[in-house]
Amino acid sequence: MIEIAVAISGRGSNLRALADYAAQTEGCHYRIALVIADTDAALGLDFARTLDAAVVVVPRLHYTGREPFERALHKVCTSYAVRWLCLAGFMRILSGAFIAQFPGGIVNIHPSLLPAYRGLDTHRRVLAAGESTHGCTIHHVTAGLDEGAAIASARTSVRPDDSEETLAMRVLALEHALYPRTLDELCAV
């Protein structure tokens, strides 16, 4: 069983999907030992506190720069001896130095078929470009924004009547299925 940390900044629906999968899947290879948020306003914290996991807020705004913030983050991860760090809507770009210190690795879920549409507002940009397919990608984290090697992806057709909201909902459902399954496989190795 591999102990993992999940880092969030917002509503935490992927955190919930990861936790539900672990609770419902016999032989799941990961356990969420730690949830980290970079703000105490993260809505997912309420759910995190219902889990059998440590919940720690490392408030980014309390630190004068990225380096001290990452030192605090690293200290927390080290004290819970987590092997993988899973970013799930964590709105911070991590430095190469921080990433290199991580024992297993750091993975992220991004709402596009990378390398297309890195960054924010992916659903809006996909619709504006008239794409016919869209989806989500799990990837290794590097210091570049959404740049690390892809591990797995899931796709959906873009429908003529899709709005940003309907497309976002469909991609989010794909994320909720893909992230736990991929992480389970990664931790089984």
Binding site for ligand GRF (CB under 6 A): 8, 10-14, 44, 88-89, 109-111, 136, 172, 175
Nearer to ligand GRF, 14 or 182 (CB): 14
For the record, the structure tokens of 33 come out as 């030992």
- C-alpha distances (whole Å) from 118 to each of 5, 102, 140, 142, 147 are 24, 23, 14, 13, 8
Q: Dihedral sign for Cα 108, 113, 114, 120, please.
A: negative
- The distance of closest approach from Cβ of residue 12 to ligand GRF in the complex, given in angstroms and rounded to an integer, is 5
- The distance of closest approach from Cβ of residue 179 to ligand GRF in the complex, given in angstroms and rounded to an integer, is 8
Nearer to ligand GRF, 10 or 104 (CB): 10
* Cα–Cα dist 87/35, whole Å: 10
- The distance of closest approach from Cβ of residue 67 to ligand GRF in the complex, given in angstroms and rounded to an integer, is 23
* Cα–Cα dist 187/87, whole Å: 15
**Neighbouring-strand partners of residue 153:** 137
* Cα–Cα dist 147/115, whole Å: 7
Nearer to ligand GRF, 97 or 169 (CB): 169
* Farthest CA pair distance, the chain: 50
Given 110, 134, 139, 176, which residue is catalytic?
110
137 Cβ partners below 8 Å, 6+ apart?
Answer: 109, 110, 112, 113, 114, 150, 151, 152, 153
Nearer to ligand GRF, 5 or 136 (CB): 136
- The distance of closest approach from Cβ of residue 64 to ligand GRF in the complex, given in angstroms and rounded to an integer, is 26
Any catalytic annotation for residue 140? no
Residue positions annotated with a catalytic role: 110
